Amino acid sequence: MKVSPLDVRGHWVVVTGASSGLGREMATQLVKEHGANVVAVARRRDRLEALAQELHDGTTRVHPIVADLAKSADVARVFSEAVAVGEVRGAVLNAGVTYYGHTLDQDMPSFDNLLATNVTALVHLCQSFSKYFVHKKNSGGVLLISSMAGFAPLPYQAAYAATKAFVTSYGRSLAYELKGKGPSVSVFAPGGIATEMLELSGLSRKFSAGDVGIMSADECARIALEGFKKRRVLTVPGASNKLMAAGMKLAPNGVLMPAIARIYEGSLPEPKQDQ
Ligand SMILES: NC(=O)c1ccc[n+]([C@@H]2O[C@H](COP(=O)([O-])OP(=O)(O)OC[C@H]3O[C@@H](n4cnc5c(N)ncnc54)[C@H](OP(=O)(O)O)[C@@H]3O)[C@@H](O)[C@H]2O)c1
């Protein structure tokens, strides 16, 4: 069955995590190249206001919502405020955090924040917007930003990889359930991207912009939005990432895990606890 592309021109698209990195790029391209109005969600008000000012061109609109998606009340408010702004046609659920280091050194508040942001908020908003699209019969779309980290267990990003495995599995399952019902759910699973996440997590000790396999946020956003508009169930950007994703799925864990661990060797923080 032929699927009609997602048309966002002149419609509202919600982008979470729009204050930096991939989310900021997707919000910018949605406005500048796809003619969408954007509801931009994140915690940092100054960043959202700067984005709104930068993208203001007299026709398209950017509506900032300052929210901490690790808090359930904020998540509920994001949905109710977004649908009050205008008819929403898309939701790009991109906000995410990682933890890089020895897994036993990740304290529980950090884990709770990771789970709430990467999983609970994403499911809540995905369910709310998908039901809204069905109810409105507006054939909207949800884009879930996952990661190649979700394709295999990842030593030293154990909890993060598990959240992304959840996102990919959940998104693909829901996409199947919604087939033929109008709205679409798409999953985007990139490899490394040159964003603040690398700095914040300490991964920049190993990877930096310009390294082989690290994409620019601009290029990644372009491919993510193409998959979103074409309502593709799963998009992995770039030939080398596709090859690596296939390897991650096929290689036995006994080969894969030491290979991944070797990549991180030399860039890990000193363990905090006796291990
Ligand atoms: N960078 C990579 O190598 C890479 C690779 C694969 C997948 N990804 C995925 O891509 C997505 C975007 O990451 P990025 O690389 O662009 O990182 P980033 O530059 O650090 O951006 C993360 C965004 O998420 C928002 N965010 C984090 N916690 C939040 C919370 N509790 N409430 C609301 N917003 C929150 C941040 O905004 P505030 O801080 O202003 O709240 C920020 O806008 C994530 O889902 C990430 O897992 C990244």
Q: What is the arithmetic mean of pLDDT over 23-37? A: 97
CA of 254 to the centre of ligand 1 (A): 31
pTM: 0.97
CA of 203 to the centre of ligand 1 (A): 14
Q: Among 79, 94, 166, which residue has the most ligand 1 atoms within 8 Å of its CB, making it the best to mutate?
A: 94
Residue with the bigger pLDDT between 202 and 128: it is: 128
pLDDT for residue 203: 84
Q: Give residues with Cβ within 8 angstroms of 24, minimum separation 6.
A: 18, 47, 51, 217
Per-residue confidence band for 256, with pLDDT thresholds at 50, 70 and 90: very high
CA of 36 to the centre of ligand 1 (A): 21
pLDDT for residue 79: 98
Residue with the bigger pLDDT between 203 and 55: it is: 55
Nearest-CA residue for ligand 1 atom 48 is 193
Per-residue confidence band for 205, with pLDDT thresholds at 50, 70 and 90: confident
Which strands form 184-188's sheet, in the order they lie side by side? 62-66, 37-42, 12-16, 88-93, 141-145, 184-188, 234-235
CA distance 186 to 184: 6
**What is the domain class of 12-264 according to CATH?**
alpha beta
Q: What is the arithmetic mean of pLDDT over 82-103? A: 97
pLDDT for residue 57: 83
Per-residue confidence band for 200, with pLDDT thresholds at 50, 70 and 90: confident
Kindly tell me if the per-residue pLDDT of 108 is higher than 60.
yes
CA of 197 to the centre of ligand 1 (A): 6
pLDDT for residue 201: 83
Per-residue confidence band for 138, with pLDDT thresholds at 50, 70 and 90: confident
Helices (H) and strands (E) in the chain, counts: 10, 7
Per-residue confidence band for 206, with pLDDT thresholds at 50, 70 and 90: confident
pLDDT for residue 210: 79
Q: Residues lining ligand 1, CB < 6 A? A: 17, 19-23, 42-44, 47, 67-70, 94-97, 117, 145, 147, 190, 192-193, 195-198, 200
Q: What is the arithmetic mean of pLDDT over 24-38? A: 97
